[in-house]
Amino acid sequence: MGRTATPAGAASRLERVDAAELVALLAGRRFAVLTGAGISTDSGIPDYRGPDSPPSNPVTLRQFTSDPSFRRRYWARNHIGWRYMDEARPNAGHHALAQLERGGVVTGVITQNVDRLHTKAGSRTVVNLHGTYAQVVCLSCGSGMSRAALAQKLEELNPGFAERIRALGDRTLAPDADAAVADTGSFRYLDCPSCGGMLKPDIVYFGENVPKNRVEQAYSLVDHAEALLVAGSSLMVFSGYRFVRHAAARGIPIAIVNRGRTRGDSLAAVKIDSGCSETLTLLANEFSSPDAAAVACS
């Protein structure tokens, strides 16, 4: 397994060595990419487990469906949080992956994130494993609406709520578009306009299964790739880790770029303890040369 960047005095030298190992591993190979919350931290969206991340517990399906008070608090926080996520912009790491896809090097992205930043950056083949913040679905009849449309309805029920909270400057955001909001007691939420059923963001919560068709699409990307690159995921959640195990079973090389240890480190041919933006930009620059383009198209 490739070395990781360690103590401060040697950090830059080791990172250069690791970057060379990463380039050598991926050169001449078309690779799929699995991303986690760590790729979006440079866009202002914190992750759950990063060293600088605020304490945050992901929402569970049982919490959401079993407790009306929890749902009221959740929708109040989400009424604020989804706006910040919608305003977030792709960073250099997202743009680098889109550039690598345009060059025929990246075959597609499997993302555990719900922030849509890969799509905003221009990536075309994206499997949103856990859904996105931008849609809402009824758990009874299956009808859906955009999060923006629901926001209009919630604003009618809670006039001025978003403006009051935003004026307080409370902008703590979680990777699932949840936001820290202290006063949620008077917030009114909405049931499905079609059947009266329970509305839920079209996001896979903890305790909920990823839809089968998304899992199959993700496996297919790995099956048609010659390597797998993990960027910004600790792989602690099995929904992403399974694709690393699948790549290992297929015998294709695995590279991991992540700050801190991951569940897949023992399966990686190269592991770099580094941020995603700088490392992915390096790859994009390296593989955008004329020689690299010729290899990708061969």
**What is the DSSP code string of 244-260?**
HHHHHHHT--EEEE-SS
Kindly state whether residue 118 falls inside one of the protein's structural domains: yes
The pLDDT confidence band at residue 273, using thresholds 50, 70 and 90, is very high
Within a 13 Å sphere around the CA of 269, how many CA atoms are in the beta-carbon half? Answer: 18
pLDDT tens digit sequence for 144-202: 999 999 999 999 999 988 777 776 665 565 666 665 665 666 899 999 999 999 999 99
Helix axes 276-287, 290-297, angle to 10 degrees: 80
Residue 261 phi/psi, 5° resolution?
-70, 155
Q: Is 103 annotated as a binding residue?
A: no
Q: Six-digit token pair at 22?
A: 């990463």
DSSP3 helix / strand / coil % (the chain, rounded to 5): 45, 15, 40
pLDDT tens digit sequence for 73-111: 899 888 888 888 999 999 999 999 999 999 999 999 999
Nearest to 92 by CA among 102, 100, 84: 100
Residue span of the structural domain in which 192 resides: 8-297
Residue 109 CA to chain centroid, in angstroms? 10
Kindly state whether residue 3 falls inside one of the protein's structural domains: no
Q: Is 233 annotated as a binding residue?
A: yes
Amino acid 290: pLDDT: 53
Kindly state whether residue 1 falls inside one of the protein's structural domains: no
Amino acid 56: pLDDT: 55
Strand bridging mode 131-138 / 199-203: antiparallel
Nearest to 252 by CA among 9, 34, 4: 34
Q: How many helices (H) and strands (E) does the chain have?
A: 11, 9
Kindly state whether residue 277 falls inside one of the protein's structural domains: yes
Instruction: Note whether 36 and 47 are within 8 A (CB).
Output: yes
Q: Is 58 annotated as a binding residue?
A: no
Q: Is 113 annotated as a binding residue?
A: yes
Q: Is 40 annotated as a binding residue?
A: yes
Answer yes or no: is pLDDT of 298 > 50: no
Catalytic residue positions?
130
Where do the H-state alpha helices sit in the chain? 11-26, 61-66, 68-87, 92-102, 117-121, 147-157, 161-167, 212-223, 238-250, 276-287, 290-297
Averaged pLDDT, 270-284: 95
Q: What is the CATH number of the domain that holds 264?
A: 3.40.50.1220
* Residue with token string 């909001």: 181
Domain count, the chain: 1
Amino acid 296: pLDDT: 44
Amino acid 49: pLDDT: 52
pLDDT tens digit sequence for 32-64: 999 999 999 999 998 765 545 444 567 889 999
Supply the pTM of this predicted model.
0.85
Share of the chain above pLDDT 70, in %: 81
Kindly state whether residue 151 falls inside one of the protein's structural domains: yes
